[in-house]
Amino acid sequence: MTNKSAKYIYEQAAIDVNYRLAADYYQMDFDAPGMAALAKPGQFVMVGVGGEESYDPFLPRPMGINIIDRQRGKISIIYQVVGRGSRLLAAKQAGDTCALLGPLGNGWPLDIGATGGKALLVGGGTGCAPLLPLASELARRGIAFDVLLGARNADGLLCRPQFAAYADKLAVATEDGSAGTQGLVSLLFPPQASYEVIYTCGPQPMMKAASRWAKELDVRCLVSLEEHMACGIGACMGCVTLIKTPDGKEQNLRICCDGPVFDSREVLAWL
């Protein structure tokens, strides 16, 4: 597997809006025309948290791109406040700037629909965010798809109205039963299904469950892996995962530039 993400830029992007979606989830919109022109569904950006004149925290944070608006030159991210870096992001105001490096990684493969096949999108928590540009692109191409969303509670069902506008069918599950089916999103997996491909992003146990289900159905399953990253461009080697190549060999690949999207059948730790 080769790194197809040959184009990325550094951009000091002004924050357009930064607002609380629900509970500890926030959305931040950037004026980033260069990034918006290059970004593809499934890619991510490294976001400098400290600001233009501060290097504290020193390391940027990887964030999946939630909205790509080429016409207006804007991109958006959704993040959850879980630590010092995300708390600093939540405190930023419109007009502040963040250093962005991206778009990074290889996005979602879109080789689907030639034979009228249907897709399924499975998202959990903040993993729903990188699936939204995919939903928009599939809808633009006239490719039919369903969406399954899972979260701990109703607040975590991110982008639910937007997915509903694009999808043929939308079903949700929450662990506390505050919306949809009570329990894990895997409860929504039907015993039989006729999908050409399954796209999934979210907590690793959820993606593992989706990949096992896809294997039972003999359906291709594409997963977007997450890992702590220092650079996002493959230099630090901090996000390596062991992959099984098509010829059966084992190879260490970098999630940031060889991924983040992999075929679930390649992820050796899951086999």
Domain range 108-224, CATH architecture: 3-Layer(aba) Sandwich (3.40)
CATH number belonging to domain 9-104: 2.40.30.10
Residue 44: per-residue pLDDT: 96
pTM: 0.92
CB-based contact 199:134 (threshold 8 Å): yes
The secondary element (H helix, E strand) that includes residue 123 is strand 119-124
Find the distance separating the first CA and the last CA of the chain, reported in whole Å.
18
Interior/surface letters 120-140, b for 16+ CB within 10 angstroms, e for the rest? bbbbbbbbbbbbbbbbbbbee
**pLDDT in the model for residue 91:** 93
CB-based contact 149:203 (threshold 8 Å): no
Q: Along the 271 residues of the chain, how does pLDDT read in single tens digits?
A: 334 445 899 999 999 999 999 889 999 999 999 999 999 999 999 999 875 556 677 889 999 999 999 999 999 999 999 988 899 999 999 999 999 999 999 999 998 866 668 999 999 999 999 999 999 999 999 999 999 999 999 999 999 999 999 999 999 999 999 999 999 999 999 888 889 999 999 999 999 999 999 999 999 999 999 888 889 898 988 899 998 888 888 989 999 999 999 999 999 876 5
Domain residues of the chain, as ranges?
9-104, 108-224
pLDDT the model gives residue 55: 67
| Residue 187 one-letter amino acid | L
CB-CB contact of 78 with 126 (8 Å): yes
> In the prediction, which pLDDT does 15 show?
96
Which pLDDT value is given to residue 7? Answer: 85
Question: Which pLDDT score is estimated for 132?
Answer: 97
Q: What is the pLDDT of residue 228?
A: 85
> Phi/psi class of residue 73: alpha, beta or left (left: φ > 0; alpha: ψ in -120 to 50)?
left
Instruction: Find tokens 């694009």 and name the residue.
Output: 166
Q: Which amino acid is at 62?
A: P
What does the pLDDT read at residue 145? 95
- Could you tell me which residues come within 8 angstroms of residue 187 by beta carbon, excluding any fewer than 6 positions away? 173, 181
Are 9-104 and 108-224 in the same CATH fold? no
- The token pair at 113 is 């629909």
